[in-house]
Amino acid sequence: MDNERSIAAVYIRVSTEDQAREGFSLGEQKEKLLQLCAFKGYEVFKIYEDAGISAKDMEHRPAFQEMLSDMKKGKINYIVAYKLDRVTRSVRDLEELISVLEQYNCFLVCDRDDVNTSTANGRFFVRMLTVLSQLEIEIVSERTKFGLNGAIKSGHLPGVLALGYKKDGNKKTIIDETTKSVIERIFKMYLEGKSFQQISNIFNEEELLKPKKWKDTTIQKIIDNKIYMGDYEQFKRIAKNKQIEPVVYMNVVEPIISRAVWKECQHQKEKNQRTYTRDRVYLFFQKIKCPTCGRIMKCKGSGGKKKKYMYYNCEKCHLNFREDKIEELLSNFIYDMVEYDMAVKKYFLPILADHKPTKNDDIDKEMKQLEKQKERIKKAYMSGIVEMEDFSEDYKLIEDKLEILEQKKNEILDLDNVTFSPQQLMADRDIERETMIRLDTLNSVVKTTWESKSKEEKQEFISKLVESIIITKDNQNELHIERINFRKSFIDMLIKLVDKGVFDVLVPCEINGKEDVILGTGNISNNQVQEYLDRLNEYYETNFYQIYEKVDEETGNIIGEFTPKENEKIIRVLPISPTESTTKSPITKDDVDTKYGIVTYNPTKPRNKIVKGVDNYATT
């Protein structure tokens, strides 16, 4: 190319944001730059246009790359642009560009910034302008990030909403009551031992949230998502690819499941990622720990169609336990848990429920919105806008959601109508339990309830309550329970019952020379004791005795004696503060360590009221 000729490439670029904000349209830039070239006597080789593209880098601008290619081929020796930020806003890219321009004897001219890189002063001025331009970008980025952080912390989450949530009128993320139960069910099923694939298969068979197709990866993403315990995780996808730490904002939305349940599912997932034999259903799947090395014992099976043997094996320590022997060993523990689970389901669910009275208003609003959607769909169908098939499918989805919300509303109303205190509910439970003991039906009911469960249901029940079990074997190959660790979610439930004063404890005692236990309760006030007794007295003639107890200095045993009257049976032991005592005792006050009350009733003298729910107790 003749060095005396000035051959120019006209470069114009605009992003949609630039055009809207400052009017840097391609047409305006083109007109002004052609006038500049004419004024300076430049011969225009070509006009290069990048429309709707950012200036953050040079690599992803096709027209710009084509222009550089033509420059390297010697077709141009000037690049003419409207402003420097049309060319680049990166100091690093500018340094690279200036170096390339010098190498190929090409110069950059910018109309509005009075830039000309053919001189040293011009190149210095260009660098200063670019530094200021990049500073502007970083400031805008920081402001945007700061605004986004504030929005996230106030519950305005970016991106696609997770299943179980929706936006309210202010675009704040709130719980979607129509799909909340699906999320709760997924976490529950996973804790019960079901895999991602099993859960997705069940949902597809049920056609849950049709036409949605469930995949194992869908379930996995839900289990992994921190949003369900109230936290939002930003940059999670980027973090996986670029090895950076995601940003977690805690407690930004209302949680659907507790933090303890979410963490238990992550622990469960770690265990599921190991290799286990899963071609049969094992009652204690991933629950039996080796007493020697502490590893989870693998499940193994043998036998054919007629007779199957299930084993739990530690390959490292060469230890085996037969499943039927474990179940036999744990039978009393299992029956106690079954009986307690039955009682909780029947009597104590209102105590355990996270009752929020304001929820009813939210449900009413959502139901009104769905009713409006129904009317719009009806009108669209009647007007011939939508076909019958589409109308039926959409209408059915709304009907299903309304049904779910109606059920939720009824559940809340049921909780609102609960008039019994926790102590009154405990009294109902005790009366029913004692009635079944008197009729000699409690053990058979509990045993039948357990044995009527399928093996899958038994596995789910154990998995729901138990974290791990350690069993030992003696020299005679007899099995012994060393330790049973409960799941944190189950412990949290028990703590809630303790706080309400309705948690059962077993008080060791000696009855007629034999060791036995009596049901006891955590510390409760005199008022709560009275509520409990008043409820019992509606059904049976009851008595309440306050007794002091002391500790034997030699043996460390607690001493306290009580002899019930004829036809009296002890139903419960209630610890009471010594300062509230009024009963006289031969033991002096200085000897007193604690004091408790004993509740008795006379099974032979029932009141006129009928003990309710005995038949239902067996099937709950």
Predicted confidence at residue 141, as pLDDT, reads 57
Q: What are the b/e assignments for 312-338, b being 16+ CB within 10 Å?
A: bbbeeeebebebeebbebbeeebbebb
Share of the chain above pLDDT 70, in %: 73
Dihedral angle, C-alpha 477, 480, 485, 487, nearest 10 °: 80
Beta strands in 139-260 (DSSP E): 165-167, 173-175, 232-234, 247-249
Q: What is the pLDDT of residues 63-119, one digit of tens each?
A: 999 999 999 999 999 999 988 778 887 767 777 888 888 889 899 888 877 777 777
Predicted confidence at residue 580, as pLDDT, reads 45
CB 563 within 8 A of CB 547: no
Query: How far from 154 is each of 100, 159, 249, 449, CA to CA, in Å?
Result: 48, 15, 10, 48
Measured distance between the N- and C-terminal CA atoms of the chain, rounded to whole angstroms: 94
Which of these, 231, 238, 223, 222, lies nearest to 253 by C-alpha position?
A: 231
CB 222 within 8 A of CB 186: yes
Highest mean pLDDT: which range of 315-319, 435-439, 461-465, 520-524: 315-319
92 token code pair = 């690093």
Predicted confidence at residue 410, as pLDDT, reads 62
pTM of the model as a whole: 0.48
Better-predicted residue by pLDDT, 192 or 40 = 40
CB 286 within 8 A of CB 276: yes
> Confidence class of residue 4 from pLDDT cuts 50, 70 and 90?
low
CB 16 within 8 A of CB 52: yes
Q: Tokens 């032979």 — which residue?
A: 604
pLDDT at 120 over 90: no
Residue 361 three-state SS: helix
Which of these, 544, 548, 533, 552, lies nearest to 578 by C-alpha position?
A: 548
Peptide bond into 211 cis (omega under 30): yes
Name 403's Cβ contacts closer than 8 Å, sequence gap at least 6: none
The arithmetic mean of pLDDT across residues 335-362, rounded, is: 71
Beta strands in 96-179 (DSSP E): 107-110, 115-116, 165-167, 173-175
pLDDT at 454 over 80: yes
Give the Cα-Cα-Cα angle 596, 599, 602 (nearest 5 degrees).
160
Name the burial class of residue 368, with classes exposed (0-12), middle (13-18) and buried (19+) by CB atoms within 10 angstroms of its CB.
exposed
> Confidence class of residue 510 from pLDDT cuts 50, 70 and 90?
confident
> Confidence class of residue 17 from pLDDT cuts 50, 70 and 90?
low
Angstrom distance (rounded) from CA 485 to CA 466: 6
Predicted confidence at residue 47, as pLDDT, reads 94
Count helices and strands (H / E) in the chain: 22, 21
Predicted confidence at residue 577, as pLDDT, reads 53
Better-predicted residue by pLDDT, 427 or 241 = 427
Angstrom distance (rounded) from CA 401 to CA 397: 6
The arithmetic mean of pLDDT across residues 335-364, rounded, is: 71
Angstrom distance (rounded) from CA 421 to CA 523: 16
Predicted confidence at residue 76, as pLDDT, reads 94
Side chain identity, residue 92: R
Side chain identity, residue 349: L
299 token code pair = 């499940």
> Which among 15, 181, 258, 468 is annotated as catalytic?
15
Backbone dihedral region of 513: left (phi > 0), alpha (psi from -120 to 50 degrees) or beta? left
The arithmetic mean of pLDDT across residues 186-210, rounded, is: 88
Predicted confidence at residue 64, as pLDDT, reads 92
Angstrom distance (rounded) from CA 506 to CA 81: 86
pLDDT at 46 over 90: yes
* Sign, CA torsion 148/153/155/158: positive
Angstrom distance (rounded) from CA 555 to CA 552: 6
Angstrom distance (rounded) from CA 52 to CA 111: 21
Verify whether residue 25 is a known catalytic residue. Answer: no
Q: What does the DSSP 8-state code read for residue 469?
A: E
Highest mean pLDDT: which range of 44-58, 238-252, 493-507: 44-58
> Confidence class of residue 471 from pLDDT cuts 50, 70 and 90?
very high
pLDDT at 302 over 90: no
Angstrom distance (rounded) from CA 246 to CA 177: 29
Predicted confidence at residue 24, as pLDDT, reads 58
pLDDT at 615 over 50: no
Angstrom distance (rounded) from CA 206 to CA 210: 9
Range of weakest confidence among 46-50, 136-140, 451-455: 136-140
Query: How far from 274 is each of 62, 223, 292, 472, CA to CA, in Å?
Result: 48, 17, 20, 24
Contacts 24+ apart (CB under 8 A), 341-346: 341/461, 341/465, 342/446, 342/449, 342/617, 342/620, 343/429, 343/433, 344/493, 344/497, 345/620, 346/429, 346/613, 346/616, 346/617, 346/620
161 token code pair = 């909403």
Predicted confidence at residue 78, as pLDDT, reads 93
pLDDT at 133 over 70: no
Range of weakest confidence among 160-164, 312-316, 399-403, 459-463: 399-403
> Bridge-partner residues for 518, per DSSP?
507
- Mean of pLDDT over the chain: 76
The arithmetic mean of pLDDT across residues 584-613, rounded, is: 57
Q: Tokens 């006030």 — which residue?
A: 525
CB 50 within 8 A of CB 64: yes
Angstrom distance (rounded) from CA 379 to CA 179: 26
The arithmetic mean of pLDDT across residues 402-410, rounded, is: 72
